């Protein structure tokens, strides 16, 4: 693996190796490698709390120097192209560039112009992909429910615009999830899902589910005709204690964050015993350590 752009580029062996490595980093801190001669830069053209800091924490744990390009004050404001920006960082000897951009395809396009010694990680591009999120989600599921082929997983929300859902579907297809149900009102349903069956019925999705993934209502990505009345959405699709009664008794609930409390998920669930939201955050650092390790050990 030279770049990490999309789970669709990865083999089953690659994804399983990442899950295994991340779990090993979690349980054996003494085995953490030290990459003090390598370096990582974060370039985020969209806001982030979790992903950017999680990559920074991962690199710090691997003893790598980290720099963050503040894109609002970079030479892009003077007309520099993104291609010249990443080539400039590569020329400074940065080994890994972690890129988030509002447009789908930008990280892949930048990966084509960086020199051979530079690795690029997609930290989220538009509605297209968020591969490290998918892998930390699967790590969190795997810790408690490791036989993916036996699971029913429901993803609920704005699937059409969700790069989290798109990467999860790609990974679910490779990892062989038993049943994936994509629950959304009609305007938010995916047009051509690579994996899973689509329904507008929350109960269809939640019935006997082992894992439920609630998605953020991404108001910033919606066109005028795609806006829904939030009270109606909450009534029909929010992950609440009452709705979760349909799921298995040991169901776990995930959410990639940031959470719109009281819209797609209730406080009671987000802060309750079934929630794995903060476990996802903790696991995210270990998964990103595994991704960095896989790129540098290539
Ligand atoms: N899950 C996620 O991508 O969160 P951030 O936008 O805070 O990075």
- Ligand 1 atom closest to the Cα of residue 130 is 3
Q: What does the angle CA 252 – CA 257 – CA 261 come to, to the nearest 5 degrees?
A: 85
Average pLDDT, the chain: 95
CA 85 to CA 199: how far, in whole Å? 43
pLDDT band at 224 (very low <50, low <70, confident <90, very high): low
Residue 285: predicted pLDDT: 98
From the CB of 50, is ligand 1 less than 6 Å away?
yes
Residue 78: predicted pLDDT: 84
From the CB of 42, is ligand 1 less than 6 Å away?
no
Residue 277: predicted pLDDT: 98
Residue closest to 286 by CA, chosen among 62, 41, 34:
62
Residue 80: predicted pLDDT: 87
From the CB of 49, is ligand 1 less than 6 Å away?
yes
Residue 288: predicted pLDDT: 98
pLDDT band at 226 (very low <50, low <70, confident <90, very high): low
CA 118 to CA 91: how far, in whole Å? 9
The arithmetic mean of pLDDT across residues 80-90, rounded, is 95
- Ligand 1 atom closest to the Cα of residue 52 is 8
The arithmetic mean of pLDDT across residues 77-88, rounded, is 92
The position carrying tokens 């429901």 is 154
From the CB of 93, is ligand 1 less than 6 Å away?
no
From the CB of 190, is ligand 1 less than 6 Å away?
no
User: Looking at residue 196, what DSSP letter applies?
Assistant: S
Span from the CA of 285 to the centroid of ligand 1 (angstroms): 13
Span from the CA of 256 to the centroid of ligand 1 (angstroms): 7
Q: Other CB atoms closer than 10 Å to residue 14's CB: what's the count? A: 15
Helix %, strand %, coil % of the chain (to 5): 45, 15, 40
Span from the CA of 287 to the centroid of ligand 1 (angstroms): 14
pLDDT in tens, 240-250: 999 999 999 99
Read off the tokens for 60. 């710090």
CA trace torsion 50, 35, 111, 139 (10° rounding): -40
Is residue 50 classed exposed, middle or buried when 0-12, 13-18 and 19+ CB atoms within 10 A define those classes? Answer: middle
Best residue among 43, 47, 48, 283 to mutate for probing ligand 1, ranked by most atoms within 8 Å of CB: 48
Query: Is residue 82 pLDDT above 90, yes or no?
Result: yes
| Residue with CA closest to ligand 1 atom 4 | 50
Residue closest to 21 by CA, chosen among 46, 64, 58:
58
pLDDT band at 92 (very low <50, low <70, confident <90, very high): very high
Phi/psi-derived region of residue 63, left when phi > 0, alpha when psi is between -120 and 50, beta in every other case = left
Higher-pLDDT residue of 252 and 187 is 252
Residue closest to 115 by CA, chosen among 134, 137, 97, 133:
97
Residue 290: predicted pLDDT: 98
Best residue among 258, 276, 284, 287 to mutate for probing ligand 1, ranked by most atoms within 8 Å of CB: 258
Query: Is residue 222 pLDDT above 70, yes or no?
Result: no
Instruction: Report the range of poorest mean pLDDT among 17-21, 62-66, 186-190.
Output: 186-190
From the CB of 257, is ligand 1 less than 6 Å away?
yes
Residue 270: predicted pLDDT: 98
pLDDT in tens, 48-72: 999 999 999 999 999 999 999 988 8
Strand order across the beta sheet in which 66-69 lies = 66-69, 40-44, 96-101, 119-125
Span from the CA of 161 to the centroid of ligand 1 (angstroms): 14
Read off the tokens for 295. 């790129």
CA 132 to the chain's CA centroid: 5
Q: Residues with Cβ < 8 Å from 258, sequence gap 6 or more?
A: 49, 50, 216
CA 60 to CA 159: how far, in whole Å? 33
CA trace torsion 214, 219, 220, 226 (10° rounding): 110
Span from the CA of 281 to the centroid of ligand 1 (angstroms): 10
């Amino acid at each position: 693996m030279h770049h990490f752009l999309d789970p669709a580029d990865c083999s089953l062996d690659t994804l399983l190796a990442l899950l295994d490595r991340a779990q090993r980093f979690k349980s054996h801190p003494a085995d953490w490698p030290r990459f003090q001669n390598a370096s990582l830069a974060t370039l985020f053209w969209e806001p982030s709390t979790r992903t950017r800091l999680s990559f920074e924490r991962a690199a710090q744990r691997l003893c790598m120097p980290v720099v963050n390009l503040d894109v609002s004050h970079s030479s892009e404001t003077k007309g520099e192209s993104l291609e010249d920006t990443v080539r400039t960082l590569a020329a400074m000897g940065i080994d890994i560039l972690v890129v988030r951009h509002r447009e789908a395809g930008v990280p892949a396009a930048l990966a084509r112009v960086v020199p051979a010694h530079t690795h690029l990680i997609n930290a989220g591009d538009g509605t297209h992909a968020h591969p490290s999120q998918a892998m930390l989600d699967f790590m969190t599921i795997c810790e408690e429910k490791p036989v993916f082929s036996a699971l029913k997983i429901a993803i609920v929300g704005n699937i059409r615009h969700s790069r989290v859902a798109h990467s999860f579907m790609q990974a679910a297809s490779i990892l062989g999830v038993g049943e994936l149900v994509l629950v959304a009102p009609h305007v938010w349903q995916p047009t051509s899902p690579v994996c899973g069956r689509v329904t507008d019925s929350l109960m269809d999705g939640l019935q006997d589910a082992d894992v439920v993934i609630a998605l953020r209502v991404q108001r910033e990505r919606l066109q005028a005709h795609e806006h829904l009345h939030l009270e109606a959405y909450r009534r029909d699709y929010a992950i609440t204690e009452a709705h979760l009664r349909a799921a298995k008794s040991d169901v776990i609930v995930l959410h990639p964050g940031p959470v719109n409390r009281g819209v797609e998920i209730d406080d009671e669930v987000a802060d309750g015993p079934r929630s794995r939201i903060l476990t996802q955050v903790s696991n995210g650092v270990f998964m990103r350590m595994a991704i960095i390790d896989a790129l540098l050990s290539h």
